[in-house]
Structure 1
Amino acid sequence: MKILVAECMQEVSSFNPLPSEYADFTVERNSAFVRNPGLNTSLAGALAVFDQNADVEVVPTISARAGSGGVLSAAGWAQLSSEWLAELAPHAGKVDALYVSLHGAMGAQGEPDPEGHLLEQIRHLFGATIPIVVSLDLHGILTNRMLHQIDGLTIYHTYPHVDFADTGRRAATLLLDIIRRGLRPVIVRVRVPMLARGDECITKTGWFGDVIADAQLLERSGKVLAAGVMIGNPFTDAPELCTQALVVAESDADLARGAATALAEAMWAGRQRLVGKLVPVAKAVALAASMPGPILFTDAADATSSGASGDSNVLIKALQEAGYPGRVLAQIVDPAAARAAHAAGVGAQVNVTLGGVYDPARFTPMVVTATVESLSRGRARLETMGVPLDGGDDEPYRQPLRSGDVLRKRPRSHGF
């Protein structure tokens, strides 16, 4: 049997004023994106299952991945979507099934539901009867358009995410079961009007983890084909954003509905706990000054891992203005300051502005005189997936600058 494999992944923050562009995506075609089977990605996990089955011929088409960022520009989306679908189109009528690795929280100017559009076009190209299974991030937003085009899905079961490959393996296994056993899956979704945030979302220790454990128990019992809960990305401003409990079952809609409802009710029961506990900046700084270190500040609203611009200087300003007595390691995105430091060299003093590079409406740039501590191209590897994060010679430089006792380090972006 021939199984077409494709991938399109990005998570966006609608509140990042800097749009993502086509150039932000790593695009690999045909066999290029199946050469690294050992990665901890959904795609690699699915390929590992397919490779273990001698009767399966994988038909690789295209993988497009970008780190979290702002909404994809209209021009970027037009190029990406047309190229992506053009790689799939020649295989219509020539394969037996499709596995598609998606995130679920993409966004583009003029297209609030990119994944829904791609799946809609796939269904149009390949027909109503061909099995399509997708894997999704639990921070994705499963839309009606997406749901109506697929035969099955699997969802991450961990946050922070570590089960990328396992999610792909479960998706591939589900797809093979649909083909070989002639299954007719039903997908039931129960929406919950809430956005889950805070430490209780950590699946190892929090309330959300207990709900996910129930979903995993359902899968292991064999009563359902797949189960999970998507809590969405609160920074992706999409019309259908909410929490969703999902269950895939063989033909039995009542069973799936009962199981999905139980998961949804468990999430609703924990709604008072699934809320981020916020502390005003001034109070947080005062508390830190009175406590033994080290102290960790979390500025979740400016997390580049969720698509934010990363140029908030609010905490740095507050710490300096309060005369915080300790030493501070702060991360902020500022390519111009980084280039100035590289031009000056290690040990040199530089006068730069920090913050508000992309979002000056929220963050007023601050003037800083600093010493360049070290220099780096910033090449790194995302440990959870094993995926390189560097962008080659054009990657914006990273370096620590020291001003007083505040050490600022400039990362560019993160994966999701």
Structure 2
Amino acid sequence: MPAILIVECMQEISSFNPVPSDYELFHIEEGEDLFQHRGRNTAIGGALSVLEATPGVTLIPTVAARADSAGILSAEGWARLSAQILDRVRAGVGGADAIYVSLHGAMGAVGEPDPEGWLLAQIRALAGPDRPIIISLDLHGILTERMIAQVDGIAVYHTYPHVDFADTGARAARLLLDRLTARRPASIVRAVIPALVRGDELITATGCYGDLIRECRRLEADGMVLAAGLMIGNPFTDAPELCSQVVLTTDDPLRGRAEAERLAAAFWALRHRMQGRLIGLSDAVAEARTLTGPVVFTDAADATSSGASGDSNAILRGLLAADYPGRVLAQIVDPQAAEAAHRAGVGAEIPVTLGGRMDPARFTPLEVTARVRLLSDGLTRLETMKTPLNAGRCAVLEFGTVTVVAMSLPAMLFDRAIYYANGLDPADFDLIVVKSPHTEHHMYDAWVTRNFNIDTPGSTSADLASLGHRICARPMFPLDPLTDFTPRATAHLRADRS
């Protein structure tokens, strides 16, 4: 009766966000609380659906720590978080036959550029060489050599915008069960691609990146590999091994290397298409005036789901300067504004500044006089995953034709949950600001007249060369004029497995 230990640690950071994150940002579940993921669209939920349906399997739930994207994690926060995780793993690993670790892959902490690799090395030391460790990763993760050296297989998200959290967890669980009965360890084949990518072509349902992901799925379905992924990293997490890469788990490393090199070459050929196409704010406002029906202004440069601070007021400032006549709905992270509204109460008219406090090198506070329309605790659930969303105390502020949700915390804004939780329906407005590079099609693109990807400053700007990478390997497209690249895949087999 195999016993499977389950552990999770997930956060994505932007190295260019000047506001550090800390331990308090993490939502932590321990022990039996992990079973609350049953039926949820989460990696643990998907893994549970497979493992609990397998006769004879018992589970050892330890700890699941998850934080919204933010700035780099403080050294103190990482020390406390990692100690808590390892304490729980240490307490349960003695009875485990295998381990499933749910990770994002784009963490970063002060003094530790590869937290996931460090954590996996500690878990491997506790588990010893013979227990299989399988991990799941976001396709925006940064898979490192240290991570690969500890594990026996890797399952990677196949969708963007991400909707296959549970599916990825289920694939990881099936891979883990396979490795428990395998007669020999699998190889992990990796082909590194010196390219960072953004833009609409990354939408897997419609873009060219999706065609390559479908090739990965075909390799899995045909049994040519045990697991396949094409990771594009997070270009806002400036780390030594930041890149795009093909990652295969296979029992046939020779064939795996050939397939990885083929996919890497195809990706490289498409690198120019997979760049963000931006429009200047003044041009977008001018065009929006001519359109009938609602429009979206995408503020991907300040996307909290990618690790930005969320306090950019650049679009608001531009709309006010241009005297845009339509009804505007916007988001901003500004705990001081939210607190001032809570002190004043619903219906009060208050002078307030919006944004420009957390990232002052890029933004300055915007002064307005606003009416407090609604106050909330900012607690809701994400549309996609149905997991808790905490934006802290929120205030709906109105001035002129503009309605702003001021939040106290940089919550995930890749769906409409924060608007709905504050009594607002985006469909009631002419222009909606969305601080996320993409959302699921039905949320906005299915019914708006146009979605403008606005060229504004921010710590998650698609103008990657403007960010100032200092740590990642160079040369790197598009940071450098790199034209020549020949893929070379390497196969990794854990030498310590008996």
Determine the structure 1 residue equivalent to 2:397: 401
Deviation string 1:313-361 (CA, Å, 9 cap, x unpaired) is 0111111112222221111111111121122222221100111121112
Determine the structure 2 residue equivalent to 1:198: 199
CA distance in 1, matches of 2:361, 2:36: 44
CA distance in 2, matches of 1:415, 1:79: 27
Deviation string 1:92-133 (CA, Å, 9 cap, x unpaired) is 443211110000011111101000000011111211222110
Question: Which letter does structure 2 place at the counterpart of 1:408?
Answer: V
Q: In the TM superposition, what is the alpha-carbon distance from 1:28 to its structure 2 partner?
A: 1.6
CA distance in 2, matches of 1:84, 1:374: 39
Partner SS, residue 250 of structure 2:
strand
Determine the structure 2 residue equivalent to 1:282: 282
Contact 1:347 1:372 (C-alpha < 8 Å) held by counterparts:
yes
CA distance in 1, matches of 2:234, 2:119: 20
Deviation string 1:69-104 (CA, Å, 9 cap, x unpaired) is 111111000101111111112334432111100000
Q: In the TM superposition, what is the alpha-carbon distance from 1:56 to its structure 2 partner?
A: 1.0
Deviation string 1:247-284 (CA, Å, 9 cap, x unpaired) is 1111x111111111122122112111101001222222
CA distance in 2, matches of 1:257, 1:232: 20
CA distance in 1, matches of 2:86, 2:193: 33
Using structure 1 for the length normalisation, give the TM-score: 0.96
CA distance in 2, matches of 1:127, 1:113: 21
CA distance in 1, matches of 2:31, 2:184: 29
Partner SS, residue 272 of structure 1:
coil
CA distance in 2, matches of 1:62, 1:18: 26
Question: Which letter does structure 1 place at the counterpart of 2:338?
Answer: A
Which runs of structure 2 are paired with 1:220-235 in the superposition (5 Å)?
Answer: 220-235=221-236
Question: Which letter does structure 1 place at the counterpart of 2:384?
Answer: T
Determine the structure 1 residue equivalent to 2:477: none
Determine the structure 1 residue equivalent to 2:49: 48
Q: In the TM superposition, what is the alpha-carbon distance from 1:40 to its structure 2 partner?
A: 0.7
CA distance in 1, matches of 2:156, 2:239: 19
Which stretch has the larger CA shift, 216-225 or 341-350?
Answer: 341-350
Q: In the TM superposition, what is the alpha-carbon distance from 1:291 to its structure 2 partner?
A: 3.0
CA distance in 1, matches of 2:138, 2:100: 15
Q: In the TM superposition, what is the alpha-carbon distance from 1:293 to its structure 2 partner?
A: 3.7
CA distance in 2, matches of 1:376, 1:150: 44
Q: In the TM superposition, what is the alpha-carbon distance from 1:371 to its structure 2 partner?
A: 1.2
Contact 1:338 1:396 (C-alpha < 8 Å) held by counterparts:
no
Determine the structure 2 residue equivalent to 1:6: 7
Count residues in correspondence: 411
Gaps of 5+ in 1: none
Determine the structure 2 residue equivalent to 1:211: 212
Question: Which letter does structure 2 place at the counterpart of 1:354?
Answer: L
Identity rate, percent:
56
Determine the structure 2 residue equivalent to 1:74: 75
The higher-RCO structure (CA 8 Å, 6+ apart) is 2
Which runs of structure 2 are paired with 1:54-65 in the superposition (5 Å)?
Answer: 54-65=55-66
Which stretch has the larger CA shift, 258-267 or 137-146?
Answer: 258-267
Contact 1:153 1:248 (C-alpha < 8 Å) held by counterparts:
yes
Question: Which letter does structure 1 place at the counterpart of 2:163?
Answer: V
CA distance in 1, matches of 2:345, 2:87: 47
Contact 2:192 2:246 (C-alpha < 8 Å) held by counterparts:
yes
Q: In the TM superposition, what is the alpha-carbon distance from 1:201 to its structure 2 partner?
A: 0.3
Deviation string 1:374-400 (CA, Å, 9 cap, x unpaired) is 22222211121110113xxxx632122
1:295 paired to 2:295: yes
Which runs of structure 2 are paired with 1:111-126 in the superposition (5 Å)?
Answer: 111-126=112-127
CA distance in 2, matches of 1:100, 1:300: 30
Question: Which letter does structure 1 place at the counterpart of 2:112?
Answer: E
Deviation string 1:51-74 (CA, Å, 9 cap, x unpaired) is 111211111111111111111111
Instruction: Give the 3 Å change call, closer, same or farther, for CA 47–263 of structure 1 in structure 2.
Output: same
Contact 2:379 2:392 (C-alpha < 8 Å) held by counterparts:
no
Partner SS, residue 26 of structure 1:
strand
Contact 2:197 2:274 (C-alpha < 8 Å) held by counterparts:
yes
Instruction: Give the 3 Å change call, closer, same or farther, for CA 97–415 of structure 1 in structure 2.
Output: farther
1:368 paired to 2:368: yes
Contact 2:11 2:69 (C-alpha < 8 Å) held by counterparts:
yes
Q: What CA RMSD, in Å, does the superposition of the two structures yield over aligned residues?
A: 1.4
Using structure 2 for the length normalisation, give the TM-score: 0.80
Question: Which letter does structure 2 place at the counterpart of 1:382?
Answer: L
CA distance in 1, matches of 2:304, 2:199: 17
Determine the structure 1 residue equivalent to 2:247: 246
CA distance in 2, matches of 1:150, 1:36: 24
Misfit runs of 4+, over 4 Å: none
Gaps of 5+ in 2: 415-498
Question: Which letter does structure 1 place at the counterpart of 2:353?
Answer: T
CA distance in 2, matches of 1:415, 1:352: 23
1:414 paired to 2:415: no
Partner SS, residue 296 of structure 1:
strand
1:331 paired to 2:356: no
Question: Which letter does structure 1 place at the counterpart of 2:342?
Answer: H
Partner SS, residue 95 of structure 2:
coil
CA distance in 2, matches of 1:315, 1:60: 45
Q: In the TM superposition, what is the alpha-carbon distance from 1:2 to its structure 2 partner?
A: 1.3
Partner SS, residue 271 of structure 1:
coil
Partner SS, residue 34 of structure 1:
helix
Which runs of structure 2 are paired with 1:140-179 in the superposition (5 Å)?
Answer: 140-179=141-180
CA distance in 2, matches of 1:341, 1:75: 32
Q: In the TM superposition, what is the alpha-carbon distance from 1:415 to its structure 2 partner?
A: 7.4
Q: In the TM superposition, what is the alpha-carbon distance from 1:42 to its structure 2 partner?
A: 0.6
Contact 2:303 2:413 (C-alpha < 8 Å) held by counterparts:
no
